[in-house]
């Protein structure tokens, strides 16, 4: 008997699978020996293809036909789909390229095209950019109540910026991807909308004159806007999400972008460049890469600039030099959410519910300002124009004001039932403050 089914030895019977080649059997009697001899007449016939046993797999009821030597893989063969089950794939790369081109074209069509709309009913002597007469130095006081509420943004406000010098306009950006310019002195209405980002706008900043401003968003774009016309003068696309922007205080044609990958990119922009002659509109000046965490803020500091980061350090830089002029770190230091500067004093909003202050020698003062409801939130802080008051918001909707000299809490009042993360002192008025938060409204306090 054969050891393997379907195969035979010399002593075994002829297997059934080979009987296709046997046609007849003849019997012949030998007269000398009277023995019966069996003779076989072999007739060539058309052989049928060998059929393999059923394959083990997902579909056990299907057979696979083919040549034994070429197709049979043994009991360890993997299951293969029948031609009916196989999904047709493009043999050429041309089809895949066409699909990619279609996808790319769709992405281009869905990109947000920068637009703007003028919504005010009047102009300031022909232009809303014309500021009112500037006031002289004056003593600042603490506001007591909300005197006006702006509609703001639907999904929360991320940044507020007064028009430099006069403060007759206030610029805001929010999670709805919009940037809005509001009137402060007259009818307190919405003057212009700037729509150019497809995701929440993280930061905005005016240049010295206020005729231009920068905006950065989670859509990895940095726009340079014309404040009056709403035109996008230039768009920079970054590899990672930008977190903060700043104009060079020495050269207004340069700007800096803080990124989430721990770097600060420094660019020079020449809008009058002749591209036909090979001149570059945007030039990379320097990359500052000493931080070990995401950049949380950039601030001008005299003729230098200051950066704060998640790596719990403060670094002061000279423009164009990738070596920090000063690095302030401490073992007990927490992550720094925001920073405010007045003269030589630097105030830091830390994630341990404290506002710490650096003296002119960049050492931490013993005096601190405690706010019990700021941990885990990026809440702005600000100085009054005379530097006597420091203010902040908190996660429960309160505004807090401290006397900077004594460190005592002077005033605390509630303006919202949600987080207040933006606060700005008016650059000219004695006791007026703008504040906003996650409910989207902007509160004008006096």
CA distance 239 to 287: 14
Q: Which of 108-122, 264-278, 397-411 has the highest mean pLDDT?
A: 397-411
Is the residue at 341 inside a domain? yes
- Find out whether 170 and 162 touch, Cβ atoms under 8 Å: yes
Other Cβ atoms closer than 10 A to 73: 12
Is the residue at 441 inside a domain? yes
Domain total in the chain = 1
- If 0-12 CB within 10 Å is exposed, 13-18 middle and 19+ buried, where does residue 300 land? middle
Domain housing 422: 108-445
pLDDT digits (tens, 9 = 90+) for 350-409: 888 899 999 888 888 888 899 888 888 889 999 999 999 999 999 999 999 999 999 999
- Find out whether 213 and 206 touch, Cβ atoms under 8 Å: yes
CA distance 356 to 341: 12
Q: With bands split at pLDDT 50, 70 and 90, how would you rate the model's confidence at 18?
A: very low
The gap from C-alpha 48 to its chain's centroid, in whole angstroms, comes to 66
CA distance 196 to 173: 12
DSSP element (H, E) containing 99? helix 93-110
Higher model confidence: residue 112 or residue 441?
Answer: 441
Is the residue at 77 inside a domain? no
- Average pLDDT, integer, range 304-311: 94
Strand order in the sheet with 242-247: 242-247, 254-259, 264-269, 282-288
Radius of gyration of the chain (CA): 39
Output the CA torsion 267→273→278→280 (10° steps): 10
Is the residue at 190 inside a domain? yes
- If 0-12 CB within 10 Å is exposed, 13-18 middle and 19+ buried, where does residue 428 land? buried
CA distance 202 to 380: 13
Is the residue at 56 inside a domain? no
The gap from C-alpha 267 to its chain's centroid, in whole angstroms, comes to 20
Tokens linked to 93? 């790369």
- Find out whether 176 and 200 touch, Cβ atoms under 8 Å: yes
- Average pLDDT, integer, range 130-155: 85
Tokens linked to 281? 């509109």
Beta bridge pairs of residue 437: 420
Higher model confidence: residue 294 or residue 136?
Answer: 294
Higher model confidence: residue 259 or residue 105?
Answer: 259
Is the residue at 296 inside a domain? yes
What pLDDT sits at residue 331? 82
Residues 6+ apart with CB under 8 A from 297: 243, 244, 258, 307, 308, 336, 338, 339
Q: Are strands 326-328 and 314-317 parallel, antiparallel or unpaired?
A: antiparallel
Beta bridge pairs of residue 441: none
- Find out whether 188 and 150 touch, Cβ atoms under 8 Å: yes
- Average pLDDT, integer, range 61-69: 49
- If 0-12 CB within 10 Å is exposed, 13-18 middle and 19+ buried, where does residue 354 land? middle
Is the residue at 49 inside a domain? no
Is the residue at 82 inside a domain? no
Q: What is the pTM of this model?
A: 0.73
pLDDT digits (tens, 9 = 90+) for 54-63: 555 445 444 4
What pLDDT sits at residue 108? 43
Q: Which of 79-88, 200-209, 246-255 has the lowest mean pLDDT?
A: 79-88
Output the CA torsion 353→355→361→366 (10° steps): -70
Tokens linked to 45? 């016939």
CA distance 14 to 23: 14
- DSSP assignment of 219-254, as one string? TSEEEEEETTT--EEEEEE-SS-EEEEEE-SS-TTE
What pLDDT sits at residue 66? 47
CATH code of residue 304: 2.130.10.10
Question: In this model, does residue 121 exceed pLDDT 90?
Answer: no
């Amino acid at each position: 008997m054969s050891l393997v089914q379907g195969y035979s030895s010399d002593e075994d019977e002829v297997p059934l699978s080979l009987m296709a080649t046997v046609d007849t059997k003849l019997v012949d009697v030998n007269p000398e020996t009277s023995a019966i001899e069996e003779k076989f007449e072999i007739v060539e016939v058309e052989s049928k293809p060998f059929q393999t046993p059923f394959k083990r797999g997902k579909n056990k009821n299907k057979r696979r036909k083919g040549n034994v030597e070429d197709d049979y893989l043994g009991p360890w063969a993997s299951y293969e789909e029948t031609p009916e089950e196989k999904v047709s794939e493009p043999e050429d790369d041309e089809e895949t390229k066409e699909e990619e081109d279609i996808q790319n074209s769709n992405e281009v069509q869905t990109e947000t095209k920068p637009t703007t709309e003028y919504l005010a009913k009047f102009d300031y002597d022909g232009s809303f950019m014309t500021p009112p007469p500037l006031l002289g130095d004056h003593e600042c006081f603490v506001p007591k109540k909300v005197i006006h509420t702006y509609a703001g943004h639907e999904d929360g406000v991320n940044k507020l910026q007064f028009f430099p010098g006069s403060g007759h306009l206030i610029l805001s950006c929010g999670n709805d991807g919009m940037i809005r310019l509001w009137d402060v002195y007259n009818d307190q209405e919405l003057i212009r909308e700037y729509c150019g980002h497809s995701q929440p706008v993280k930061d905005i900043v005016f240049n010295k004159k206020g005729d231009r401003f920068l905006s950065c968003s989670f859509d990895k774009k940095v726009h340079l806007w014309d404040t009056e016309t709403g035109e996008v003068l230039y768009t920079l696309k970054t590899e990672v999400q930008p977190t903060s922007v700043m104009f060079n205080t020495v050269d207004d044609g340069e700007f800096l972008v803080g990124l989430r990958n721990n770097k600060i990119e420094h660019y020079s922009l020449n809008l009058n460049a002749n591209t036909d002659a090979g001149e570059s509109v945007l030039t990379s000046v320097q990359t500052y890469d000493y931080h070990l965490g995401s950049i949380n803020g950039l601030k001008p500091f005299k003729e230098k600039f200051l950066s704060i980061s998640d790596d719990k350090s403060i670094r002061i830089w000279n423009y164009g030099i990738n070596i920090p002029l000063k690095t302030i770190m401490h073992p007990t230091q927490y992550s720094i959410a925001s920073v405010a500067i007045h003269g030589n004093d630097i105030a830091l909003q830390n994630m341990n519910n404290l506002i710490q202050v650096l003296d002119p020698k960049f050492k931490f003062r013993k005096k601190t300002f405690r706010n019990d409801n700021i941990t885990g939130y990026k809440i702005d802080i600000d100085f009054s124009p005379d530097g006597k008051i420091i203010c902040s918001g908190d996660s429960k909707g309160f505004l807090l004001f401290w006397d900077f000299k004594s460190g005592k809490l002077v005033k605390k009042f509630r303006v919202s039932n949600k987080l207040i993360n933006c606060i700005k002192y008016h650059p000219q008025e004695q006791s007026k403050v703008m504040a906003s938060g996650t409910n989207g409204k902007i509160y004008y306090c006096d």
